[in-house]
């Protein structure tokens, strides 16, 4: 009979803290383990290429420290379907490996010289761009929501889990739900039991079934939401957790009972209601100043020239024709913009709205493309323009796609800007734009 995840985990850590043979560690990990923290703390293994395999299999964060590990990540990208079919029985999200990469200097330097546009697109599109965001309105009333978001994204690392628990205790608060669970589901059951009551409010509902181990597991790990809807979710739970925790959720789904503890103990009901009310937060109470911070970090050409409006929105009619007439109607100036990316960074012009910024930025991007600058830099710079305006970087062109994507309603206005950029006296410059 095959060993359980917990038995495999013990074997894995015995090997990790002993001989630390990478092949042996991968062999054990492929059977299924609970990897409680990233492997970069372990000097014997941290630089081996199998760190990528073990981490992806175990749904744990990892660092890219060398070329072998970087190429191993690219192999996973190229063989995505094979990897998914091989490991999905252990980790259903095994094809979400880019979200596990801890961004460091080495990884960014590799991306700067990466030529594979599809690979770069995946890296950028699957990452949470926290470094490009500035949370400008955060107060103590948001602490539970902030911690919840941290736990959802990074709770698989025991060190981050302990950090969040410390914040919960210091603020004398509890979290209502972590996407339907009471604890991040990345650990052995004993660990889940310890953290669930420490992190989350108590349930009002209790699920009873014949399998007492499963009964304890469900009531420890699942919130009222999942217990209430257990019948509808039991197949999903079975696919995610049956092998990992040795529980047949399908069988439980055929015969179980949900009890409302409130009806049994009124006093406990009052306590729980107070606790719940105290911890309810409004997720919209803080505002992301993404676009402003984007300028400060990766758009230095606009730093200090403009304070972006909240909605990252263009206003029809505010095109600055002074800039267009002075720089985009003159072949020599366009040629200089194209050949020297630094030229447009130092032009003397008043910028008083986002439309000005966008036009200048698009000219700057054309210059970067023309001078064969890093594709990674270009894609990062255009990230939010694609999100808001359906402006993307494809095949060494800046493309406006008039499709259902994008959040800006005046698409005709973006098209108008592109028509201006596609009809200057400089045909080569024009060729870098398409709509």
**Torsions phi, psi for 22 (to 5 deg):** -55, -40
Across 77-91, 175-189, 307-321, least confident range: 307-321
* Amino acid 381: pLDDT: 86
Mean pLDDT of 400-428: 80
**Torsions phi, psi for 391 (to 5 deg):** -100, 125
User: pLDDT tens digit string along 121-143?
Assistant: 888 877 655 544 444 444 455 78
Residue with tokens 């009333």: 141
Q: Would 134 be classed as within a structural domain?
A: no
- What 257-263 contacts at long range (C-beta under 8 Å, 24+ apart), as own/partner pairs, is 257/207, 257/208, 257/209, 258/205, 258/206, 258/207, 258/208, 258/227, 258/228, 258/230, 259/205, 259/206, 259/207, 259/208, 260/204, 260/205, 261/203, 261/204, 261/205, 261/206, 262/204
User: pLDDT tens digit string along 214-262?
Assistant: 999 999 999 999 999 998 888 889 888 998 999 999 999 889 999 998 7
Same domain for 268 and 147: yes
Q: Would 285 be classed as within a structural domain?
A: no
* Amino acid 80: pLDDT: 86
Same domain for 429 and 304: yes
> Which of the four pLDDT bands, split at 50, 70 and 90, describes residue 312?
very low
Strand partners, 175: 200
Q: Would 375 be classed as within a structural domain?
A: yes
* Amino acid 262: pLDDT: 76
Q: Would 175 be classed as within a structural domain?
A: yes
CA angle, residues 210, 213, 218, in degrees to nearest 5: 90
* Amino acid 133: pLDDT: 47
Q: Are 342 and 401 in contact (CB under 8 A)?
A: no
Same domain for 273 and 193: yes
Same domain for 271 and 302: no
CA angle, residues 112, 293, 336, in degrees to nearest 5: 55
Same domain for 215 and 343: no
Please give the full DSSP string across 96-115, using - where no structure is assigned.
-GGGGEEP-HHHHHHHHT--
Task: Please indicate whether residue 250 or residue 349 has the higher confidence score (pLDDT).
Answer: 250
Same domain for 152 and 51: no
Q: Would 68 be classed as within a structural domain?
A: yes
Q: How many domains is the chain built from? A: 3
pLDDT at residue 407 tops 90: no
Cα–Cα distance for residue pair 248/226, rounded to 1 Å:
16
Same domain for 275 and 256: yes
Q: Which domain holds residue 376?
A: 290-434
**Torsions phi, psi for 309 (to 5 deg):** -75, 155
Taking all residues of the chain, what is their mean pLDDT, rounded to a whole number? 82
Same domain for 80 and 33: yes
Burial class, 404, CB count within 10 angstroms (exposed 0-12 / middle 13-18 / buried 19+): exposed
Please give the model's pTM, rounded to 2 decimal places: 0.73
pLDDT at residue 284 tops 50: no
Strand residues in 261-396 grouped as ranges (E): 391-394
Asked which of 75, 95, 127 is the last residue of a domain, the reply is 127
Q: Would 184 be classed as within a structural domain?
A: yes
User: pLDDT tens digit string along 45-101?
Assistant: 999 999 999 999 999 999 999 999 999 999 999 988 888 888 877 777 767 888 899
Same domain for 401 and 296: yes
* Amino acid 404: pLDDT: 53
Same domain for 103 and 189: no
Q: For residue 380, what are the contacts with CB-CB under 8 A and spacing of at least 6?
A: 124, 298
Same domain for 429 and 296: yes
Q: For residue 170, what are the contacts with CB-CB under 8 A and spacing of at least 6?
A: none
Q: Would 422 be classed as within a structural domain?
A: yes
Same domain for 325 and 227: no
Residues present in the chain in total: 435
160 token code pair: 């981050």
The Cβ of residue 160 has, within 10 Å, a number of other Cβ atoms equal to 17
Q: For residue 106, what are the contacts with CB-CB under 8 A and spacing of at least 6?
A: 64, 65, 66
User: pLDDT tens digit string along 194-211?
Assistant: 999 999 999 999 999 999
Asked which of 233, 251, 279 is the last residue of a domain, the reply is 279
Asked which of 255, 279, 303 is the last residue of a domain, the reply is 279
Q: Would 177 be classed as within a structural domain?
A: yes
Mean pLDDT of 410-422: 86
Residue with tokens 């410059």: 429
> Which of the four pLDDT bands, split at 50, 70 and 90, describes residue 355?
confident
């Amino acid at each position: 009979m095959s060993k359980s995840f917990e038995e495999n985990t013990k074997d894995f850590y015995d090997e990790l803290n002993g001989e630390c043979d990478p092949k042996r560690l991968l062999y054990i990990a492929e059977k299924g383990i609970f990897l409680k923290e990233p492997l970069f703390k372990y000097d014997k293994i941290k630089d081996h290429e199998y760190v990528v395999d073990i981490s992806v299999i175990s749904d744990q964060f990892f660092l890219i420290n060398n070329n072998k590990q970087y190429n191993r990540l690219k192999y996973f990208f190229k063989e995505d379907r094979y990897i998914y079919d091989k490991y999905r029985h252990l980790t259903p999200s095994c094809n979400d490996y880019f979200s596990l990469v801890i961004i460091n200097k080495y990884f960014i330097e590799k991306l700067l010289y990466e030529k594979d546009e599809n690979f770069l697109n995946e890296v950028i599109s699957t990452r949470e761009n926290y470094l490009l965001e500035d949370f400008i309105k955060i107060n103590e009333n948001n602490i539970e929501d902030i911690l919840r978001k941290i736990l959802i994204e990074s709770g698989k690392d025991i060190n981050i889990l302990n950090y969040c628990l410390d914040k919960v205790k210091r603020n004398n608060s509890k979290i209502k739900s972590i996407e339907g669970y009471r604890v991040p589901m990345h650990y052995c059951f004993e660990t889940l039991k310890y953290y669930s009551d420490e992190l989350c409010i108590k349930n009002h509902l209790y699920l009873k079934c014949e399998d007492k181990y499963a009964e304890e597991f469900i009531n420890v790990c699942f919130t009222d939401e999942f217990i209430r809807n257990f019948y509808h979710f039991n197949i999903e739970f079975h696919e995610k957790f049956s092998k990992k925790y040795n529980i047949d959720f399908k069988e439980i789904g055929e015969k179980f009972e949900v009890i409302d503890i409130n009806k049994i103990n009124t006093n406990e009901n009052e306590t729980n209601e107070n606790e719940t009310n105290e911890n309810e937060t409004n997720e919209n109470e803080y505002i992301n100043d993404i676009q402003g911070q984007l300028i400060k970090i990766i758009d230095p050409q606009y730093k200090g020239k403009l304070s972006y409006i909240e909605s990252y929105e263009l206003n029809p009619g505010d095109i600055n024709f002074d800039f267009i007439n002075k720089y985009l109607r003159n072949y020599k100036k366009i040629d200089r913009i194209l050949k020297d990316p630094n030229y447009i960074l130092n032009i003397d012009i008043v910028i008083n709205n986002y439309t000005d910024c966008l036009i200048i930025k698009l000219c700057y991007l054309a210059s970067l493309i023309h001078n064969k600058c890093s594709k990674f830099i270009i894609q990062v710079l255009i990230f939010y323009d694609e999100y808001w305006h359906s402006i993307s970087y494809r095949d060494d062109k800046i493309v406006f796609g008039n499709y259902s994507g994008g959040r800006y309603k005046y698409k005709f206005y973006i098209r108008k800007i592109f028509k201006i950029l596609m009809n200057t006296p400089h045909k080569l410059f024009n060729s870098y734009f398409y709509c």
